[in-house]
Amino acid sequence: MEQSYPYWLSNQMISGVKGFSLCANLIALEGWRRGLTLRWYYNGSDVTNLKPVGYDPVGKTFSLSSGEKTHFFYRSRGDKVDNTAVDIGASKEETKKYLSEYGVSNPEGFSFTKSDDIESVIDTAKKMGFPLVLKPTFGSLGKGVITNINTEAQLRKNLSHVFSEFDYTNFIIERYIEGDDLRVYVVDDKAIGAIKRITAHVIGNGIHSIEELINFKNEDRKKNPYLAAKLIKMDNQVIEYLSEQNLLLSSVPKKDEVIFLKAKSNITSGGDSIDITDELTNEVKTAAVNAVKAIPGLYHAGVDIIANKNDAVVIEINPTAGIAMHHFPVQGKPRNIPAGVIDYYFPETIGKAAKSTKIYFDYSNILKLLRSRSVNQLEIPNAPIGELYAKRYVISGKVQGVGYRNWVRKQALINHLNGYTRNLKNGKVVVVVAGVNKELVDNFKEICLSGPKKAEVKDVQEYVWDKQIKIGFEIRKDR
């Protein structure tokens, strides 16, 4: 939990960007840093037939161009993926069909609708035998999924629960398979990232109560940009699940005792994400790669797999998978999924551009513009290509209230330098400039020294700057 950010990202680069917008941001950033031209769109349907999915598609469509070719993306999915593959992925029933045809192992099961005869559904389920899983055919994010149904009574209760609680009409009942819950990201026939999801739990220390342990865990999760909004809620579900184990929130677990808090392993509901890319077995890799191959028109996706000693069973395929989880695992190494995706779409950029991991663009403000629909499309200035070199200059003298910052912004921009300026409380002005041309950055000290007409610069102090740099040049508010 110490290192929350992979080396190619920082807090500032993605601050204010949440949910699936983050997926779009991460992929776009990788392509843009390689020198591709990046454009964002209010609504993708104006420019591409990429099928949007999800509740709020605004500002999640972008394009990357290399001059010869342009590729459109929606969230983490690019335009090489057919819309038919998106439709297949959205239907668990269709997915199963294609998986089975291709010989990819998936749980035995059957589909039915809300209007079917409930008794015959239960009969068929009983013939298959418990334990079972009940899930909506077109659901996502684990909504309405009930796992580990062990008795007919449980099945009846859960059926009536999902019928009344959700708007879904189509459902699947399939065999429940015990094993590790994995998400494997596949691109270009390779498994480039794998996350094991562990059900929300706490580990006892013999001192603190479950409630306290949950609070500790949530404090940790808050530090993780991906998990910050996915805390463990102490809701009725948790209280009930604990009471089934004869436990209370106030109970104090023994040292090293693992207490599970929920039945489902969703990260959203408090589960842990552990990177296991390097430990993946060949069986799992093959299952994941074949699952993507099994769907016509699909070339990269997140594959949900249950793996145990005997088998690797594909549960679901997500053509528009969330990729942030691979960047911010609770344990293990972060994986650069965007690099894999951009390698696939723009193989000519592999290793070609010496990309900087410090430069980024202001997606959070761009998103605001697109969300108010005051802008329909916009293009980001191309990223400087090469090793970024930066300096921080502190200018003293009569430099505030004389138009210094406005002037210095113009100077920086015409010199193609990026960075910011800010007034300091002590009357000085700070200027950070970065570029790939070392000489320009060093010479900027002279420019700072000259200043605008009204200014009387006494001195310019020079410091090293090795933090992130936003493209463009910004006048920041006084602190």
Partner 1 sequence: MMDKKFNWLQHLDDSIPSSAYGYKLCIYSIALEGWRRGLRLKFFNVFRKDRGTTKLTVRFSLSYNGKEHKFAVSRGDLVSKQAISICVDKDKTKEYLLKANVSVPEGKSFGSSSSNEEIVEYFKTLNYPVVLKPTDAGGGKGVITNITNIVELEEALNLVRTELQYKDVILEKYIQGEDHRIYVIGDNVIGVYKRIAANVIGDGEKNIDELIDIKNKERKKNPYLFGRLIKKDKEMDNFLKARGLTLKSVPKKGDRVFLREKGSLSAGGEPIDVTDKIPNHIKKTAIDAARAIPGLPQCAVDMIIDKESNIGVVNEVNSKPQISNHLYPVEGYARDIPKAIIDYYFPETIKESRKDCFYFDFDNFLPLLINGFVEEVVVPCVPKGEIVKKKLTVSGSLPAIGYKKWIKKAAHSLRLNGFVESPKTGKLIVVVAGEKESINKFKTKLQTQSPVELDKLNITEEEWGKTIKIGFEIINNSEKGNIDVYKNELKLLKRTNFKLKKSIKEIEKEKDSIRRSTSWRLTKPIRIAGDIFKVKK
The two structure tokens encoding residue 5: 């950010």
Check residue 362 for interaction with partner 1 (CB under 8 A). Answer: yes
- In angstroms, rounded to a whole number, what is the distance separating the alpha carbons of residues 218 and 274? 16
The two structure tokens encoding residue 73: 């993306």
Q: Which of 33, 335, 405, 409 is catalytic?
A: 405
Residues numbered 246-265 forming contacts with partner 1, rule: CB under 8 A: 248-250, 263
Minimum CB–partner distance for residue 87 and partner 1 (Å): 21
Check residue 176 for interaction with partner 1 (CB under 8 A). Answer: no
Tell me which stretch binds partner 1 (CB under 8 A): 6-14, 100-108, 294-302, 372-380: 372-380
Residues numbered 218-247 forming contacts with partner 1, rule: CB under 8 A: 237, 239-241, 243-244
Distance from the Cα of residue 348 to its chain's centroid: 25
What mask, x for binding partner 1 by CB under 8 A, covers residues 182 to 221? ----------------------------------------
Provide the β-strand partners of residue 276: none
Provide the β-strand partners of residue 180: 307
Q: Tokens 């429940």 sit at which residue?
A: 176
Which is nearer to partner 1, 284 or 380 (by Cβ)? Answer: 380
Q: Tokens 């999800």 sit at which residue?
A: 54
Considering CB under 8 A, how many residues would be counted as binding partner 1?
48
Question: Is 102 in contact with 80 (CB distance < 8 Å)?
Answer: no
Sign of the four-CA dihedral 177, 180, 185, 190: negative
Check residue 157 for interaction with partner 1 (CB under 8 A). Answer: yes
- In angstroms, rounded to a whole number, what is the distance separating the alpha carbons of residues 277 and 332? 9
Check residue 148 for interaction with partner 1 (CB under 8 A). Answer: yes
Check residue 165 for interaction with partner 1 (CB under 8 A). Answer: no
Peptide bond into 131 cis (omega under 30): yes
Which is nearer to partner 1, 292 or 471 (by Cβ)? Answer: 471
Minimum CB–partner distance for residue 109 and partner 1 (Å): 20
Provide the β-strand partners of residue 456: 398
Check residue 283 for interaction with partner 1 (CB under 8 A). Answer: no
Check residue 21 for interaction with partner 1 (CB under 8 A). Answer: no
Is 405 a catalytic site residue? yes
Query: Would you call 151 exposed, middle or buried from its count of C-beta atoms within 10 A (0-12, 13-18, 19+)?
Result: exposed
Minimum CB–partner distance for residue 219 and partner 1 (Å): 18
- In angstroms, rounded to a whole number, what is the distance separating the alpha carbons of residues 254 and 215? 17
Which is nearer to partner 1, 157 or 454 (by Cβ)? Answer: 157
Check residue 450 for interaction with partner 1 (CB under 8 A). Answer: no
Query: Would you call 474 exposed, middle or buried from its count of C-beta atoms within 10 A (0-12, 13-18, 19+)?
Result: middle
Position among 3, 153, 167, 309 found at the interface with partner 1 (CB under 8 A): 153
Q: What are phi and psi of 268, to 5 degrees?
A: -55, -35
The two structure tokens encoding residue 202: 């706490």
Is 106 a catalytic site residue? no
Question: Is 409 in contact with 475 (CB distance < 8 Å)?
Answer: yes
The CB density around residue 282, as the number of other CB atoms within 10 Å, is: 8
What mask, x for binding partner 1 by CB under 8 A, covers residues 298 to 337? ----------------------------------------
Contacts with partner 1 by CB under 8 A lie at 42, 56, 58, 148, 150-151, 153-154, 157-158, 237, 239-241, 243-244, 248-250, 263, 361-362, 365-366, 368-369, 372-382, 409-410, 413-414, 418, 470-475
Active site residues: 405, 423
